[in-house]
């Protein structure tokens, strides 16, 4: 007889999305299982760019410094001309960090290392990935999901209150739910390979024949490894040879150089680019996250980042729902994240077009810092504000001084699974403490002293105004101190009973 396990959440797929959901559930004490059908971790570099907004998420998850230490910044792009000479340029315009936006440049780390760091963080929280466990089938009713999982010890029935389908672009969960995945195949096929290679320096991202889809070749040193990542568009139907010899021959054919020698191949793939978006992100008790919900071309380095942020949006809502907040919180996941993915699909497709014309340049739009949820059902403005921060905006960072004189930052106050209420020179006598909500008073007599005016510059709060910041770093509500009593229903509804 098959074994039977009962948990709160079953997360299917241990890529970037599944691992992030799992960390979010683990740090809130939710009982869950993270299953992965591969026997061992995925070995490919794939999504190697960690955008500034994802760096902020990683700071909150407690892994940003590890990611930075393991990887590094992107090297300059070295564009080769027909005569063999080259010109170097920064991949993105150099944008200085600001007090409100402390991370300003994409980091580079091959996806297998990013996932390793996520797994280590999960381990610190007392959980691990169940490798070699495949979701075969599931059904759901009003109370939960019953799944059949095949693992090393045989088949098992898992009953869960919710199922998260973080099972990648070919998501069997999406298909089983009957959710359409409309969009288009972009008519571009490409190879990507992680290789040891001789003949090129590691101080630049080498780019040959930019804009010529028949001859383009990009070879990027992968930070944190001795590998290079080779990327090249290839003909739609022609056979590809991803062996050492085949890749060396490709490099010679596209560069005219015989000194670029591939020594070994640790992972290689040949894929067709798609731009697709799931019609729904939620069906009953089942949610789609990451590539299961959206497929992008790799231009602009958005896929992994969008996937991590889906998971970061969903994790705290699932934990709150398990405490009985009701359905509206879970419904807000699709309302908030699907429009973001729609915009990202448009962006990465436009960047692909620009790349095909030889003119791709990544600007601020790829950083994902301007992502917000102003139209979310969770955004509450109890008093219309004419300027400053609005409900749904990303909550900016700001350095300040603690009342005890120590330097601090808002992101330090936000770090963790709780909500934060910032009250600008406001007294809140009626406001009772609630589990999961940290209240901070900003002002000369508060615990947060805005000595350099960075909080004022970023939030623009007048005396008596308050801002409620969600666990995922977006503003949930803005209100006047005297309206605090009216906020009770909102707080109840988001799990802060």
Closest listed residue to residue 159, CA positions, set 175, 141, 177:
141
- Nearer of residues 46 and 470 to ligand FAD, judged by Cβ: 46
Q: Smallest distance from the beta carbon of 46 to ligand FAD, in angstroms?
A: 4
The CA distance from 458 to 475, in Å, is 12
The CA distance from 340 to 346, in Å, is 10
**In this structure, are residues 110 and 224 in contact, taking their beta carbons and an 8 Å threshold?**
yes
- Nearer of residues 19 and 322 to ligand FAD, judged by Cβ: 19
**Residue 161: strand, helix, or coil:** strand
Closest listed residue to residue 312, CA positions, set 332, 331, 289, 296:
289
- Nearer of residues 133 and 319 to ligand FAD, judged by Cβ: 133
- Nearer of residues 291 and 393 to ligand FAD, judged by Cβ: 291
Q: Smallest distance from the beta carbon of 88 to ligand FAD, in angstroms?
A: 21
Closest listed residue to residue 70, CA positions, set 35, 45, 99:
45
- Nearer of residues 43 and 256 to ligand FAD, judged by Cβ: 43
Q: Smallest distance from the beta carbon of 275 to ligand FAD, in angstroms?
A: 12
Q: Smallest distance from the beta carbon of 49 to ligand FAD, in angstroms?
A: 5
Q: Smallest distance from the beta carbon of 367 to ligand FAD, in angstroms?
A: 13
- Nearer of residues 21 and 378 to ligand FAD, judged by Cβ: 21
Tokens of 374: 């102003």
- Nearer of residues 150 and 261 to ligand FAD, judged by Cβ: 150
Q: Residue 66 phi/psi, 5° resolution?
A: -65, -40
The CA distance from 339 to 332, in Å, is 11
Q: How many CB atoms lie within 10 A of CB 4?
A: 10
Q: Smallest distance from the beta carbon of 12 to ligand FAD, in angstroms?
A: 5
* DSSP track, 443-461: STTSSEE-TTSHHHHHH-P
- Nearer of residues 36 and 334 to ligand FAD, judged by Cβ: 36
**In this structure, are residues 333 and 314 in contact, taking their beta carbons and an 8 Å threshold?**
yes
Q: Residue 213 carries which DSSP code?
A: T
Binding site for ligand FAD (CB under 6 A): 12-18, 35-38, 42, 46-49, 111, 134-135, 166-168, 172, 192, 269, 271, 290-291, 298, 301-305, 307
Q: Smallest distance from the beta carbon of 191 to ligand FAD, in angstroms?
A: 8
- Nearer of residues 50 and 262 to ligand FAD, judged by Cβ: 50
**In this structure, are residues 113 and 224 in contact, taking their beta carbons and an 8 Å threshold?**
yes
Residue with structure tokens 């004189």?
Answer: 405
Q: Residue 382 carries which DSSP code?
A: S
**In this structure, are residues 267 and 16 in contact, taking their beta carbons and an 8 Å threshold?**
no
R_g of the chain computed on alpha carbons: 24
Q: Smallest distance from the beta carbon of 249 to ligand FAD, in angstroms?
A: 21
The CA distance from 466 to 265, in Å, is 55
Q: Smallest distance from the beta carbon of 461 to ligand FAD, in angstroms?
A: 35
């Amino acid at each position: 007889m098959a074994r039977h396990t009962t948990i709160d959440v079953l997360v299917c797929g241990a890529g970037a999305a599944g691992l992030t959901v799992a960390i979010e559930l683990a740090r809130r004490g939710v009982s869950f299982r993270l299953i992965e059908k591969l026997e061992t971790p995925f070995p490919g570099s794939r999504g190697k760019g960690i955008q500034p907004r994802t760096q902020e998420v990683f700071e909150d998850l407690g892994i940003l410094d590890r990611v930075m230490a393991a990887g590094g910044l992107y090297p300059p792009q070295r564009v080769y001309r027909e005569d063999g000479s080259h010109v170097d340029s920064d991949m993105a315009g150099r944008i200085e960090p600001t007090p409100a936006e402390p991370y300003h440049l994409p980091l580079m780390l091959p996806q297998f290392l990013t996932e390793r760091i996520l797994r280590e963080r999960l381990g610190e929280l007392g959980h691990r990935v169940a490798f070699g466990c495949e979701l075969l089938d599931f059904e759901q009713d009003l109370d939960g999901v019953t799944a059949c999982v095949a693992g090393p010890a045989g088949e098992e029935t898992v009953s869960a209150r919710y199922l998260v389908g973080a099972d990648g672009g070919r998501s069997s969960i999406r298909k089983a739910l009957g959710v359409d995945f409309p969009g288009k195949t972009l008519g571009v096929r490409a190879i990507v390979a992680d290789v040891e290679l001789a003949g090129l320096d590691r101080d630049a991202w080498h780019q040959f024949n930019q804009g010529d889809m028949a001859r383009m070749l990009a070879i990027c040193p992968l930070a944190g490894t001795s590998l290079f990542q080779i990327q090249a568009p290839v003909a739609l139907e022609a056979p590809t040879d991803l062996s050492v010899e085949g890749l060396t021959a490709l490099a010679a054919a596209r560069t005219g150089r015989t000194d670029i020698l591939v020594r070994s191949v640790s992972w290689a793939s040949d894929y067709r680019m798609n731009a697709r978006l799931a019609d729904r992100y939620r069906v009953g008790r089942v949610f789609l996250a990451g590539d299961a919900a959206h497929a992008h071309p790799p231009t602009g380095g958005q896929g992994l980042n969008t996937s991590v942020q889906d998971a970061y949006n969903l994790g705290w809502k699932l934990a709150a729902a398990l405490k009985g907040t009701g359905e509206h919180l879970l419904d807000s996941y699709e309302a908030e994240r699907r429009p973001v993915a729609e915009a990202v699909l448009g962006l990465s497709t436009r960047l692909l077009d620009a790349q095909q014309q030889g003119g791709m340049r990544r600007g601020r739009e790829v950083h994902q810092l301007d992502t917000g949820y102003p139209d979310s059902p969770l955004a509450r403005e109890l008093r219309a504000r004419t300027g400053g921060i609005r409900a749904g905006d990303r909550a900016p960072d700001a350095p300040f001084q603690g009342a005890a004189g120590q330097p601090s930052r808002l992101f330090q106050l936000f770090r963790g699974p709780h909500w934060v209420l910032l009250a600008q020179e406001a007294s809140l006598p009626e406001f009772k403490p609630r589990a999961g909500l940290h209240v901070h008073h900003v002002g000369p007599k508060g615990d947060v002293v805005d000595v350099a005016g960075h909080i004022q510059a970023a939030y623009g709060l007048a005396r008596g105004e308050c801002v409620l910041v969600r666990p995922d770093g977006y503003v949930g509500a803005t209100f006047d101190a005297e309206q605090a009593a009216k906020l009770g229903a909102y707080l109840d509804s988001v799990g802060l009973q």
